[in-house]
Structure 1
């Protein structure tokens, strides 16, 4: 991205903001956007009094566990007093420090997605400025606050190009073809409600009393809001059945689907999402791995983000409730916020018809395999990892939260059911704590384990001491046994494979074109072959990787595989039979041949199955 200084033009919407004397009145101008840079103007609350005012731009935000320093993307800052005089400005630790009493601060903002300096910023937490097509407004990347004054209201005016629609859960006070005005009660509320501007593609529906809006931007127009909504509906229905009562009345899903040719913004493969109280923002690929893979990614990611309405959005410690944007303090409980949430998204689908119980268990155990890659030198406790996650050494271990955390949550759920004779489960305990605390009353970070033990059983405190505060692996064998399964730390399993050396698909082409240096491969593939059908299934740009993985790179059976390819001299059918072998598999399970009636009943209650 070019870092030229863009010409600045300021438009004061004084009539709109006349009632906002003791508020921040912010104008974000998307119309005069130049070189992926936009202008922001902030009128400060009139009751502020400071002789040297520090305008804080966040180092980190709730729901993220990294130091991203959004102030480094803010440039050309100027400040003015009540008479219009320009005040002295200096930059300190990415903040804007103004000498004197400013009434207005003006600056330009570069986006994080394609700025080389922003390559390590997780895209769902960052900003995108594609002037004529799409702008992602994570407001913490555009707007700050005067130190000590983040609880003032914010009025946000967005000047937009004609034809743009701003999708958000933020309170919309007014809207025209060329502008929107939003209101947030505090800075935290503003940060908690991102917006996405682009040509409108939205679909809305009601789900168990929740008004759901799905907004989509797809770079190559492969994804549409109606098709995404169709994927979300059964997932949200499963979540609703698990929760019973939904804790929100409205929710917005904001999806940005990137084309893989957008290498400036996909360079870090920063795919994922960030949760908010009434919305979530997604940065996902358009689905070149196949339609089923794309739908699975949407469903599992959306279920995880939506279930954050439990934790941390309605149950959290003081470190989140009064988040320090300048010097963030991390909670001890990422195992709860992320681990339990990932567990619940799997459990909700397993208790429905979207995920078979044994597939649910395989998903859980696959986490143990991946986790070992991060623990090659030493294992740390989940509490230690949570508290020190902003440190570079622990940043490398951060993915463990999503691997070990769900397994801990599963074992905690089983243990709670066992200790209470089935009267309580993990979800029920969290709901009890939500009733006691809720979104506006945080718990003490150090007291949560005792709170769990008080509600369930004193013996539960030992579980936390060993598996969350300590470094022991959770008792997965005992928990699987309670459900009627045998745990195998290591076992021999049959595999099927083709002897293929360096066989791939051409990445620079949408078409499924084979790249190989080995013409002696069992199929007889030639470099440049175009795949037409695999086992009778038409190969498309969307499903090419899915089919290659299922039938050629990792065949699941000893059956002959048939591949129809196109060459310069016509169509040719290639055939090959995979060879059988064995490999050592870690962290697997098998069904008990004769589980007791009590075990079968426990399993039925756990998965909420009628039989």
Structure 2
């Protein structure tokens, strides 16, 4: 009996095991698992391993993005992938064919157990590609990894709407700054979950030695993380200004935004080495990646961060919570672009300027000057080109060079809508209330049809807004800016503006001796008031200013620092004249130049002007 029982038990166990095995083999895996190894970096490359979902087809297609949201540029991240392999459960290689720079077709996909490949970074080979640095990648073993995830992780065609689990192995000395939640408490492994590929691409991670600050603004947790290769700056150096700015932004937005966490990942580039050279930022739903030169003087860095980060932060309104189907279901390899860059980038850029005057961070005159500069700069582009048409075809060669105009005319479009709404509502409503209404109508997960947006905006606002959109945004009629400024009592006029001590417009007052790299004042150049007052002469060599030595290698730093000079600041300049060194001492004298600007002059429009700028 005992033997029988054992035999029966064994039989049951065998049957049970067999049943389990059969069940396991039939189980459908509907998840993508990713392993990124930052510990074992070889030849400046990172190994990525992808465990795929179950395939029932004979072939599977794997993509690395050709383009990502926010860049409007075809960058071909697949060019940075090496040694791509597809393996079965026994480690045998499956046949793979590379069909273009970003696509691999895998045969016998039913047997596919994993995909492996090596990733090269983009920062140290800038100049060989056109990838914007904040959208690029960095691999510096044991120092810094900028994981813009689209550069490391791809997707299987037809499987990008399923969950992703990403496991990152990293040195214990490095910490990953991100808005993602780490589900592993250990110091060397991070585990992140996202519901689909788009959320992963939307979530950058920067690994470096911990240097970060956190604070809370009206229920939103803010993370500021800084990588400064030479230790020039820390997160604490920039946090006070960032906190002031973000509190002002949250106050300006009011109920429009409900984001619970936002991360600023600041990478400071070492200009003396092969490193990132494209300065600016790239937006994400809950974070932004920022690249700036480490050598930039602190005051200038903070000013740049205020403008750049505020722009990216406002993207949480659009396109991140108000967007079309082209963005919601973005195709990373054969994209269809939306018609509404005027809103995604233009409204965002306008808000990044409007909130500063609204919250008292800049004066009204400074705001007017910024708008005047945008008008002037926008004249370099075809003013009769329908903005919707340009936006829809922005990847085409015919329109690609017009992209920068979205930050110029796009912002001016938003400004005119704002002014018109203030007039139509007797000051009660502006473009911020429109974005609130659109956010309530749509939100993060409900995209609109591109062709329906103008009608929806008109229904939510006034007939004048619909007429404006059709005539000046979809149409080819240039915007009569003076007419819109007149509605708020503002007119064009000449204004005084301090000139840069070393620049006259785009023309420099200084040059460089190519043999010695020394900075010189050219012979025959008419000197400006600052140079004359301090005692500089033609053919002088500039050796140092206020104790900092300058030459060709850091001439950019000289120009940037001089932008922060104030009238009557003490200054000491070490020069070489007739092969003899000498020191000039004095005070900064700024030359004022006349430029076309804007003034408020019509007091009868004071009420609507106040509603526009302060409402």
TM range (shorter): 0.7 to 0.9
CA root-mean-square deviation: 3.1
Q: Which of 173, 187, 191 matches 1:181?
A: 191
1:422–1:97 CA distance, 2 compared to 1 (3 A): same
What are the superposed Cα offsets for residues 186-222 of structure 1, whole Å, 9 maximum, x if unpaired?
A: 1011111010111111100111111100111012222
Q: How far apart, in 1, do the equivalents of 2:429 and 2:591 lie?
A: 49
What are the superposed Cα offsets for residues 474-508 of structure 1, whole Å, 9 maximum, x if unpaired?
A: 232122222222125xx697987899996437699
Asked if 1:590 is matched to 2:590, the reply is: no
1:146–1:499 CA distance, 2 compared to 1 (3 A): closer
Distance apart, 1:349 and its partner CA: 0.8
Gaps in structure 1 of 5+ consecutive residues: 1-18
1:499–1:73 CA distance, 2 compared to 1 (3 A): closer
Q: Partner residue of 2:77?
A: 70
Distance apart, 1:114 and its partner CA: 2.4
Q: Which of 521, 524, 530 matches 2:543?
A: 530
Mapping 1:161-560, distance limit 5 Å: 161-245=171-255, 246-262=257-273, 264-266=274-276, 269-288=277-296, 290-375=297-382, 379-488=384-493, 503-504=509-510, 514-518=519-523, 522=532, 523-524=536-537, 527-533=540-546, 544-546=558-560, 548-549=562-563
Q: How far apart, in 2, do the equivalents of 1:202 and 1:395 lie?
A: 37
Q: How far apart, in 1, do the equivalents of 2:590 and 2:190 lie?
A: 60
Q: How far apart, in 2, do the equivalents of 1:495 and 1:233 lie?
A: 29
What are the superposed Cα offsets for residues 163-199 of structure 1, whole Å, 9 maximum, x if unpaired?
A: 0111111221114222211111110111110101111
Contact 1:75 1:109 in 2 (8 A): yes
Contact 2:384 2:478 in 1 (8 A): no
Contact 2:32 2:162 in 1 (8 A): yes
Larger Rg: 2
1:176–1:561 CA distance, 2 compared to 1 (3 A): closer
- Provide the secondary structure at the position in 1 that maps to 2:146: strand
- Provide the secondary structure at the position in 2 that maps to 1:413: helix
1:104–1:471 CA distance, 2 compared to 1 (3 A): same
1:294–1:321 CA distance, 2 compared to 1 (3 A): same
Q: Which of 144, 156, 163 matches 1:146?
A: 156
Q: Partner residue of 1:601?
A: 607
Q: How far apart, in 1, do the equivalents of 2:569 and 2:95 lie?
A: 76
Q: How far apart, in 1, do the equivalents of 2:154 and 2:278 lie?
A: 24
1:561–1:374 CA distance, 2 compared to 1 (3 A): farther
1:495–1:57 CA distance, 2 compared to 1 (3 A): closer
What are the superposed Cα offsets for residues 344-370 of structure 1, whole Å, 9 maximum, x if unpaired?
A: 111111111111112111101101111
Contact 2:540 2:575 in 1 (8 A): no
- Provide the secondary structure at the position in 1 that maps to 2:242: helix
- Provide the secondary structure at the position in 2 that maps to 1:108: strand
TM-score, normalised relative to structure 2: 0.85
1:89–1:499 CA distance, 2 compared to 1 (3 A): closer
1:493–1:604 CA distance, 2 compared to 1 (3 A): closer
Distance apart, 1:452 and its partner CA: 0.9
TM-score, normalised relative to structure 1: 0.85
1:110–1:428 CA distance, 2 compared to 1 (3 A): same
- Provide the secondary structure at the position in 1 that maps to 2:183: strand
Contact 1:77 1:108 in 2 (8 A): yes
Distance apart, 1:391 and its partner CA: 1.2
Between the two proteins, the alignment pairs up a number of residues equal to: 566
Distance apart, 1:159 and its partner CA: 1.1
Shifted more, 492-501 versus 333-342: the winner is 492-501
Asked if 1:133 is matched to 2:143, the reply is: yes
1:402–1:577 CA distance, 2 compared to 1 (3 A): closer
What are the superposed Cα offsets for residues 94-122 of structure 1, whole Å, 9 maximum, x if unpaired?
A: 21111112121111111122236852011
What are the superposed Cα offsets for residues 396-418 of structure 1, whole Å, 9 maximum, x if unpaired?
A: 11101001011110010011121
Shifted more, 520-529 versus 299-308: the winner is 520-529
Q: How far apart, in 2, do the equivalents of 1:115 and 1:525 lie?
A: 39
1:50–1:605 CA distance, 2 compared to 1 (3 A): same
Q: Which structure carries more helix by proportion?
A: 2
Contact 1:476 1:487 in 2 (8 A): no
- Provide the secondary structure at the position in 1 that maps to 2:264: strand
Q: How far apart, in 1, do the equivalents of 2:260 and 2:589 lie?
A: 55
